[in-house]
Amino acid sequence: MKLERIDRQSANLLSELCIKTFKEAYKGVHSEEDIECYCSDNYLPSDVALLLDDETTEAVVALDQEIPAGFYLIKHMPCPVELAGPSTELKQIYVLSSHFGGGLGRQLFDSIVQSALEYGSTRLWLCVSDINYRAQAFYKKLGFSKVGIGPVLVVGKDKLPSSILALEIIK
C-alpha cells in the first residue's frame, strides 16, 4: 500500500473517495436522502479543493496498486478543549470496506502521528459521533480518551451528539 500526499489537483479523486467511504460507513445508520444531503453539502470537488488549499490541512490517500483504498485529512490546529501542548485535529480517516481488516487503518494512523510530530504537535484530537461505534472502538484501541463534549453533527435531518477524544503522542 502506497500513501501519497495530495493537493488541490486531486480534489476530484478525494471528493469521490469521501463520498464512497461516507456512504459505506453510514449506510443503514442514516437514510439515503440524509447521506446524499451530507455528501452534497460537504464533498463537492469545489469544497474539497478549498479544504486542500488551506495550508494547515494535510490530505493523504492510500493507493492499492494505484487504486484509492482510503485516506485521511488532518488539520494542524488547537483543540476547542484545552490540551497541554500543540495539537493536530484528525478530521477524517476512512478505509473502503474492501480493505477492512488488512491493517490499512493502522498504517494511515501511523502516518498521521508522524506528520503531527513533524509539525510539532504533542496531541491528536478529533470529534466522533456518539453513535459511530466502529470509529469509537478503533480510536479507543489506539489509546484515545474522551476529553469533552463535541459539537452536534448534522447529517441531513439527523442531529447527532459527539464527543471530543484526544491522544498524547510522543516521539
> Residue 64: which region, alpha, beta or left (left: phi > 0; alpha: psi -120 to 50)?
beta
Instruction: Give Cβ neighbours of residue 119 (< 8 Å, ≥ 6 apart).
Output: 76, 86, 88
Residue by residue, pLDDT tens for the chain (171 residues) are 999 999 999 999 999 999 999 999 888 889 999 999 999 999 999 999 999 999 999 999 999 999 999 999 999 999 999 998 899 999 999 999 999 889 999 999 999 999 999 999 999 999 999 988 888 998 999 999 999 999 999 999 999 999 999 999 986
The overall longest dimension of the chain from CA atoms, in Å, is: 44
Instruction: Give Cβ neighbours of residue 110 (< 8 Å, ≥ 6 apart).
Output: none
Pick the closest to residue 105 from 144, 60, 71, 65 (CA basis).
71
For the full predicted model, state whether its pTM sits above 0.85.
yes
The pLDDT of residue 171: 65
Q: Which three cell numbers stand for residue 6?
A: 495530495
